[in-house]
Amino acid sequence: MRRVVVTGLGCITPVGNDVASFWSSVTAGTHGIAPITRFDTGAMKVKIAAEVKDFHPELYMEKGEIRHTDLYAQYALAAAAQAAEESGISGKIAPERFGVYIGSGIGGISTSIAETQKMLEKGPEKISPFFVPMLIGNMASALVAIKYGAKGPNLPVVTACATSTHAIGEALRAIKYGYADAILAGGAEAAINPLAMGGFANCMALSTASDPDSASIPFDRRRNGFVMGEGAGVIVLEEYEHAKSRGARIYCELSGYGNTCDAYHITAPQPEAEGSSRVITLAFEEAGLEPDEKLYINPHGTSTPLNDKTETLAIKKALGDLAYRVPISSTKSVTGHMLGAAGGAEAIVAVLALETGVVPPTIGYKEPDPECDLDYVPNQKRAYDADKALSLSLGFGGHNAAILFNKI
């Protein structure tokens, strides 16, 4: 069976627009949550978010392209460019063997708002001819493929907050079973606007805290919702022998993937964590590995009351007593919830935890919750020589995904 390794990383996040600054912020516990600057929040219930700062799309795109590309796709192009450059894959692979699996949970929602307003004010004849390409959620994957001439498999996944993790897992299998030799995989999101923020607030998903320091506090008893984030996370997955033959830097192996559905509710997790525990077991089974104390877990960890207690239960059901002896940290305490991009950024965290021997903290953690009683690496990073790292994502609709990395 073909093995799959990670040879490049790229990200745009609320705490850094490249991997080095992102990792520095995540391990230092420096969050990117602040009052919203994109629009007037006077009428909004929620007034804080984790915005990307100082993003310069002209570093990655021609100026003429920027106007015709939604922000979520700009983030994807930037993260993919970083990952591809670090990997050195461009020009070293047959175009038909090079794929792109970059998804988005929502796609070009800001474009939709702008064009709807234009139609209502000026009539349908004023709608941009670029509206549909800017709106649809597959366009980030398409634009990256166009940029790199990647003519192999292309699969833009849409599974809400599990999007990136499913994209990476499906890319693993495409390479493993011989459909491609390398794939740019991950996700992107840009939904900090009045419509998305109002919708998430009205379905009681967002934190109502006004203090940015105590808004995204996964597993803490005081948690009351997630903080909206944005950005992109993309990794290069490559067949092991292909990567070795061209002398690529290899971070680690991606060896397992789990994909389940709760089939229970449109937003709430299944209370007994049946699907979310089974997805962990499936990832280990595919990898042919057993969980042990050299495991690090980057959970979904959204800071919502239901997710965090249910995910804690899922980990305990999957790992048994071992669950109490492995470090678990939610980097959403730093980045907020990047929605469809979250799993891409968090996959990078998992990879770098193996690479550096450091696991980042869950910041803002002050008051333990009896229903969340595991080791969440509170407030300070920790030296930890893990040889396996599991990243979990759980999306609206009951979509569960897990990917398992291991040292080679």
**pLDDT confidence of residue 1:** 85
Residue 135's pLDDT is what?
A: 98
Q: What is the pLDDT of residue 41?
A: 96
CB neighbour burial string for 309-323, b if at least 16 within 10 angstroms, e if fewer: bbbbbbbbbbbeeeb
Render the burial of 56-85: b for 16+ CB within 10 Å, e for the rest: ebeebbeeebeeebbbbbbbbbbbbbbbbe
pLDDT at 378: 98
* Comma-separated ranges of CATH 3.40.47.10 domains in the chain: 4-245, 254-406
Per-residue HEC secondary structure of the chain comes to CCCEEEEEEEEEECCECCHHHHHHHHHHCCCCCEECCCCCCCCCCCCEECCCCCCCHHHCCCHHHHCCCCHHHHHHHHHHHHHHHHHCCCCCCCHHHEEEEEECCCCCHHHHHHHHHHHHHHCHHHCCCCHHHHHCCCHHHHHHHHHHCCCCCECCCCCHHHHHHHHHHHHHHHHHCCCCCEEEEEEEECCCCHHHHHHHHHCCCECCCCCHHHCCCCCECCCCCECECCEEEEEEEEEHHHHHHCCCCCCEEEEEEEEEECCCCCCCCCCCCHHHHHHHHHHHHHHCCCCCCCEEEECCCCCCHHHHHHHHHHHHHHHHHHHHHCCECCCHHHHCECHHHHHHHHHHHHHHHHHHCEECCECCCCCEECCECCCCCECCCEECCCCEEEEEEEECCCEEEEEEEECC
Residue 255 contacts residue 176 (beta carbons within 8 Å) = no
Query: What is the per-residue pLDDT for 20?
Result: 98
CATH number of 4-245: 3.40.47.10
Contacts (Cβ under 8 Å, ≥6 apart) of 117: none
Distance, CA of 346 to CA of 338 (rounded, Å)? 10
End-to-end CA distance of the chain: 16
User: Encoding tokens for residue 120?
Assistant: 């209502």
Active site residues: 161, 300, 337
Interstrand relation of 34-35 and 48-49 (parallel, antiparallel or unpaired) = antiparallel
Integer Cα distance of 291 and 261 in angstroms: 22
Rounded Cα distance between 73 and 235, Å, is 16
Q: What gap in Å lies between CA 365 and CA 400, rounded to an integer?
A: 25
d(CA 201, CA 205): 6
Please answer whether residues 103 and 395 qualify as being in contact, where contact means their C-beta atoms are separated by less than 8 angstroms. no
Along the 408 residues of the chain, how does pLDDT read in single tens digits? 899 999 999 999 999 999 999 999 999 999 999 999 999 999 999 999 999 999 999 999 999 999 999 999 999 999 999 999 999 999 999 999 999 999 999 999 999 999 999 999 999 999 999 999 999 999 999 999 999 999 999 999 999 999 999 999 999 999 999 999 999 999 999 999 999 999 999 999 999 999 999 999 999 999 999 999 999 999 999 999 999 999 999 999 999 999 999 999 999 999 999 999 999 999 999 999 999 999 999 999 999 999 999 999 999 999 999 999 999 999 999 999 999 999 999 999 999 999 999 999 999 999 999 999 999 999 999 999 999 999 999 999 999 999 999 999
The model carries a pTM of 0.98
The values of phi and psi at residue 398, to 5°, are: 85, 20
- What kind of architecture, by CATH, is found in domain 254-406? 3-Layer(aba) Sandwich (3.40)
Which is nearest to 275 in space by CA: 212, 230, 318, 231? 318
